[in-house]
Amino acid sequence: MIHPTLAPLPKGFLWGAASAAYQVEGAWNEDGKGVSNWDKFVRIPGKTFKGTTGDIAVDHYHRYREDVQLMAELGLKAYRFSVAWTRIFPDGRGKVNPKGIEFYSNLIDELRKAGIEPILTLYHWDLPQALQDEYGGWESRQIIEDFTNYSIELFKQFGSRVKYWVSLNEQNIFTMLGYRAAAHPPGVKDEKRFYQANHHASLANASVIGAFRTHVPDGKIGPSFAYSPAYPLTANPEDILAAEIAEELNSHWWMDVYAWGKYPKVAWKALERKRVVPIIEEGDAQLLEAGRPDFMGLNYYQSSTYEKNPLEGGVGQAEMNTTGKKGSSKDAGIQGMFKTVANSYLERTNWDWNIDPDGLRIALRRIESRYKLPVLISENGLGEFDEEKEGGIIEDDYRIDYIRSHVKAIQEAVTDGVKILGYCIWSFTDLLSWLNGFQKRYGLVYVNQHEEGEHDLSRIKKKSYYWYKNVIHTNGEEI
């Protein structure tokens, strides 16, 4: 039973699960699909765990009917998926590929037949390689027009059947990893280019939201932001300052722009001193201000704890743990500002991600206090090793514990007064983790797919699937 002091979740709460095209679809070169930046990047030796690619992924492109059937049986209320731009416009713009439209149209129909609300993400990182080659993708202002035209095509095709839309998925992550850490395509390490490409992405995001108002007047749209709330390590004012500037530079830099069309001042000043602020052209401010979202999409996995980081000899970019070998990640930061540090109050996963359900409540409360926008939790989940036991049984109690504690945090936040539209577990089926292969599993449904060898890709319901079914059935009364 829900704790008597907690408010019940609203009726119509979107109990969901999520995926992204590149991570599930496969069929990378079928039915007229063009090549994306990820199709190319994964072929560079050493970029992904054991050289894994999304060429086949979990073959959702061919098995979507079976997957929707599993969602229906679970009682899922919403399914968040992304469209591969290269299926619609193989070269990023020009002629529409009817086969691409057909695939998503069928998927949407199938979901609606099952009473599942589709939540469509316009961009989950797979940029048409043609646009990267032609003008450098996000580094050119041309991307604003091309992304808007692509989005308008989807609004026209699906606007009457899809009510909830996500514009950009984790703009902070794809720009940081793509242009600052060189861990994602296009593999650049350059602060100035990072902030400029990111500015174009903000403009494209606002432009698409503007177009949405004309084409889907009764729909809802917002970006999905990867928010990791910042904590100071100690009450030492130096650590407080480190956490505050981390919150500004890692989070407000995006969320302020989404909500208000303005960059945060203190962070702007800091970047100005480093000569890395983006060039703002005439009309940019108006465009940003006009592109306000209906909700803040929140992808929450963990909080981050910070301490001061000296200018001389401080830590910078660091290796990530992509192997599942606990303790192999290193602290990272910006010299002279902040660095991450372990939080002794929190357990970590095998990939060194902090497990912090209170952090979700904190994130939700901070969004409510600062932006006063409803929140759609568009991703939350646990990446872990799963073991298939004799007879096709997967006992992922650790995943149930993780999700249970986060659902409770949502109930607490609702009690605090935060308006939450829904909760999408990452992920529905197991899928390809961009840099971590297939062994870092998130699904409620296990997929027999691995880094090496050929597998039958069969689907098996995990224990968490049955548990979540009851959570949905009781609207969170029984967790």
Distance CA 240, CA 338 (A): 10
Distance CA 39, CA 57 (A): 12
Segment lying near ligand BGP (by CB under 6 A), choices 326-334, 341-349, 430-438, 453-461: 430-438
Nearest residue to 100 (alpha-carbon basis) of 55, 68, 92? 92
The binding track of 256-295 with respect to ligand BGP, each residue x by CB under 6 A or -, is: ----------------------------------------
Residues in contact with ligand BGP, counted by CB under 6 A, come to a total of 14
- Which of 227/232 has CB closer to ligand BGP? 227
Q: Which residues in 5-34 contact ligand BGP (CB under 6 A)?
A: 20, 23
Smallest gap from Cβ 394 to ligand BGP, in A, equals: 18
Q: Does 299 bind ligand BGP (CB under 6 A)?
A: yes
Nearest residue to 126 (alpha-carbon basis) of 25, 253, 254, 257? 25
Q: Does 383 bind ligand BGP (CB under 6 A)?
A: yes
Nearest residue to 266 (alpha-carbon basis) of 279, 249, 291? 249
Q: Does 386 bind ligand BGP (CB under 6 A)?
A: no
| Alpha carbon distances (Å) from 8 to 1, 4, 411, 423 | 11, 9, 7, 14
The binding track of 71-90 with respect to ligand BGP, each residue x by CB under 6 A or -, is: --------------------
- The dihedral region occupied by 189, where left means phi > 0, alpha psi between -120 and 50, and beta the remainder, is beta
Smallest gap from Cβ 433 to ligand BGP, in A, equals: 3
- Which of 183/242 has CB closer to ligand BGP? 183
- Which of 379/412 has CB closer to ligand BGP? 379
Smallest gap from Cβ 432 to ligand BGP, in A, equals: 8
220-226 vs 296-299, strand pairing mode: parallel
Q: Does 440 bind ligand BGP (CB under 6 A)?
A: yes
Q: Which residues in 186-225 contact ligand BGP (CB under 6 A)?
A: none
Distance CA 92, CA 150 (A): 8
Smallest gap from Cβ 424 to ligand BGP, in A, equals: 11
Q: Which of 25, 307, 379, 384 is catalytic?
A: 379
Q: Does 410 bind ligand BGP (CB under 6 A)?
A: no
C-alpha distance across the termini of the chain, in Å = 8
Cβ-closest position to ligand BGP: 433
Smallest gap from Cβ 150 to ligand BGP, in A, equals: 19
Main-chain phi, psi angles of 156, to 5 degrees = -65, -40
Selected binder of ligand BGP within 195, 225, 434, 468 (CB under 6 A) = 434
- Which of 137/383 has CB closer to ligand BGP? 383
Whether 110 sits among the annotated catalytic residues: the reply is no
Q: Where are the alpha helices (DSSP H) in 303-425?
A: 357-371, 397-416
Question: What angle is formed at CA 121 by the lines to CA 441 and CA 291, rounded to 5 degrees?
Answer: 135
- Which of 157/303 has CB closer to ligand BGP? 303
Nearest residue to 206 (alpha-carbon basis) of 136, 155, 262, 160? 262
Smallest gap from Cβ 1 to ligand BGP, in A, equals: 32
Bridge partner list, 422: 14, 376
The binding track of 162-191 with respect to ligand BGP, each residue x by CB under 6 A or -, is: -------xx--x------------------
Nearest residue to 146 (alpha-carbon basis) of 90, 101, 187? 90
- Which of 20/277 has CB closer to ligand BGP? 20
- Which of 140/405 has CB closer to ligand BGP? 405
Smallest gap from Cβ 401 to ligand BGP, in A, equals: 18
Distance CA 346, CA 24 (A): 31
- Which of 270/360 has CB closer to ligand BGP? 360
Distance CA 50, CA 47 (A): 9
Selected binder of ligand BGP within 119, 226, 233, 337 (CB under 6 A) = 226
126: Cβ contacts below 8 Å, ≥ 6 apart: 21, 22, 36, 37, 38, 39, 82, 84, 85, 86
Selected binder of ligand BGP within 329, 436, 449, 464 (CB under 6 A) = 436
- Which of 321/343 has CB closer to ligand BGP? 321
Q: Does 350 bind ligand BGP (CB under 6 A)?
A: no
Place of tokens 């009917």: 65
Find the largest Cα–Cα distance for the chain. 64
Segment lying near ligand BGP (by CB under 6 A), choices 198-206, 211-219, 394-402, 434-442: 434-442
108: Cβ contacts below 8 Å, ≥ 6 apart: 118, 120, 158, 161, 162
Give helix then strand counts, H and E, for the chain.
16, 16
Selected binder of ligand BGP within 179, 426, 465, 468 (CB under 6 A) = 426
The residues of the shown chain that bind ligand BGP, judged by CB under 6 A, are: 20, 23, 169-170, 173, 226, 299, 379, 383, 426, 433-434, 436, 440
State the catalytic residues: 379
